[in-house]
Structures are given as structure tokens and as C-alpha cells.
């Protein structure tokens, strides 16, 4: 892994270039490369065109939702069910966008200034933004996020095509293994960055509740895991705060 990039000297262009360098030296660059090689190979197996696969990455930019979309386009699947499943899988982006906007928004920023960074937003971009943006001047934060997002999105789009054409020489299980890198990397990053009891409890409860609901064949198990685990974690957080206030 290369050394961490140096902070930008002082212009918005420098901040954008700093974002590009941050993405290039981030572990998420390798995660995205392998993930989208697997996604491209899967699109080939499902008979989709390479142009469709690359456009999906550029416009949708969410690996799990893209997998749901591709598998949902198979015969016998109702399109409305696929649309609902893709939407539910992407609800996870709402909290990270809500958390990031106050951090990067300038006082004079107009709504359209936030369209590009919000589109680029993924867990990988969010982690790097939350790690570096607080140390940057506020006017540099949006260009920085755009640099990180553009670099990682470009990598994903390019390696979607690479995986598509490599499909003939890849082992049968490579695509699935490559896609599995994404949740593992996000899990380790989340665990590393967890500081509050709320964050640690939500992570631990999710890991405990998720497999139980999955093996019990509960419908929408991932959704219920988030609802139950998040509610319990928030309850623990409120109890901790009330005890601290009494002390």
C-alpha cells in the first residue's frame, strides 16, 4: 500500500486532486477492483451486454443492489418485485448521506452542488470522506468527496468491463468470491471506526441477529436485522446517556 497522500495546498482543484490520490491509495480501490471483476463476470453469465453492465455501475453504483437487479432480471421474476428489492437494499445509503451532508455542505452551497457527491456516495467513499474531510477547510470538502467518488466509480466501471471479458478464463467461483470481498472489507472498516457504544452495539447485534433470521427463513431478514438491531442499540445508547446525566 502506498503512503497516505499529502493534504491539498489550498485551492478546490487541489482538494479534488487530493481526493483522487486518496482513492488511489485506499484499500477500497482494491476491493472495488475485485468486486466489479466479479460483477462483470456475472453479467456475462446472465447474457447481459458489456455496455449494460458498465452503465449499471456508472448509474447505480451499489454492488449489492446491482447483483439483485441482475439476478432479478431472470425469467419468471416480476419486475416490480425486483424494483422493491433494489430499493430496500439501497435504503442503507440514506443514513450515510444524512450524516455526510452537514459535514461537507458550505453555507452558500446550493442543492445542485450536492447532487454529484450524493450520487458518488457509497460506503467506500463515505469511510474515506469521514476520515479526511473534517481536517479540510469546509470549501474543500465537496471537491474532495467528488475526487474520491469519481476515482472509485471510474475504477468500478472499467473493471466491470475487465471482468466481463475475463469471464471465459476465470474459475467458476471467482465471481462469488470477488463479490464477497466487499462486505468483509466494509465490516472490518466499520469495526475499526466504531467508537461509541451505539456503534459497537449496533454492529454486534447485527452480526448476532442476522444469521438467526436468515437460518429461520424470515422474509426480509436483512431489513428486520437492521430494524431490531438498530432499535436495541439506540435503546442501550439512551440508557447510557441517562446514567451519565445522573452522574
The helix or strand, by DSSP H or E, that contains position 148, with its residue range, turns out to be: helix 138-166
- At 17 the pLDDT is 92
Q: What is the CA radius of gyration of the chain?
A: 20
Task: Tell me the pLDDT band of 193, cut-offs 50, 70 and 90.
Answer: low
Which three cell numbers, joined as nine digits, stand for 33?
A: 477492483
Task: Tell me the pLDDT band of 1, cut-offs 50, 70 and 90.
Answer: very low
Q: Is residue 75's pLDDT more than 70?
A: no
- At 176 the pLDDT is 63
Query: 239 φ, ψ to 5°?
Result: -65, -45
* pLDDT digit string, tens, across residues 106-145: 877 777 778 888 888 888 888 888 888 888 888 899 999 9
State the CB neighbour count (10 A cutoff) for residue 30: 13
Q: Mean pLDDT in the chain?
A: 81
d(CA 124, CA 142): 16
Q: Which among 32-36, 45-49, 159-163 has the top mean pLDDT? A: 159-163
pTM: predicted TM-score of the whole model, two decimal places: 0.73
* Mean pLDDT of all residues in 210-221: 79
Least confident of 62-66, 91-95, 104-108, 220-224: 220-224
Are the beta carbons of 18 and 147 closer than 8 angstroms?
yes
Which three cell numbers, joined as nine digits, stand for 44?
A: 456475462
- At 222 the pLDDT is 66
Are the beta carbons of 36 and 160 closer than 8 angstroms?
yes
d(CA 14, CA 136): 11
Q: Quick one: what percent of the chain has pLDDT higher than 70?
A: 79
- At 6 the pLDDT is 57
Comparing CA positions, the residue from 209, 234, 212, 221 lying closest to residue 95 is 234
What is the 3-state composition of the chain as percent helix, strand, coil, each rounded to the nearest 5?
80, 0, 20
How many H helices and E strands in the chain? 12, 0
Amino acid at each position: 500500500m502506498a503512503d497516505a497522500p499529502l493534504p491539498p495546498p489550498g485551492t478546490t482543484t487541489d482538494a479534488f486532486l487530493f481526493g483522487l490520490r486518496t482513492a488511489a491509495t485506499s484499500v477500497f480501490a482494491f476491493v472495488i477492483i475485485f468486486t466489479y471483476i466479479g460483477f462483470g463476470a456475472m453479467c456475462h453469465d446472465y447474457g447481459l451486454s458489456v455496455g449494460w453492465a458498465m452503465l449499471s455501475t456508472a448509474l447505480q453504483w451499489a454492488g449489492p443492489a446491482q447483483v439483485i437487479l441482475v439476478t432479478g432480471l431472470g425469467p419468471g421474476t416480476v419486475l416490480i418485485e425486483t424494483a422493491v428489492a433494489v430499493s430496500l437494499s439501497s435504503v442503507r445509503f440514506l443514513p450515510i448521506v444524512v450524516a455526510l451532508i452537514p459535514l461537507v455542505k458550505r453555507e452558500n452551497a446550493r442543492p445542485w452542488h450536492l447532487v454529484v457527491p450524493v450520487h458518488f456516495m457509497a460506503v467506500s467513499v463515505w469511510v474515506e470522506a469521514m476520515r479526511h474531510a473534517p481536517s479540510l477547510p469546509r470549501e474543500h470538502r465537496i471537491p474532495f468527496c467528488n475526487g474520491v467518488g469519481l476515482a472509485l466509480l471510474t475504477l468500478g466501471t472499467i473493471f466491470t468491463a475487465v471482468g466481463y471479458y475475463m469471464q471465459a478464463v476465470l474459475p467458476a467461483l471467482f465471481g462469488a468470491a470477488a463479490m464477497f470481498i466487499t462486505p468483509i472489507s466494509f465490516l472490518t472498516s466499520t469495526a475499526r471506526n466504531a467508537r461509541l457504544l451505539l456503534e459497537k452495539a449496533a454492529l454486534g447485534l447485527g452480526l448476532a441477529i442476522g444469521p438467526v433470521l436468515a437460518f429461520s427463513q424470515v422474509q426480509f431478514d436483512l431489513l428486520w436485522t437492521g430494524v431490531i438491531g438498530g432499535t436495541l442499540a439506540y435503546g442501550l445508547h439512551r440508557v447510557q446517556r441517562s446514567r451519565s446525566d445522573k452522574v
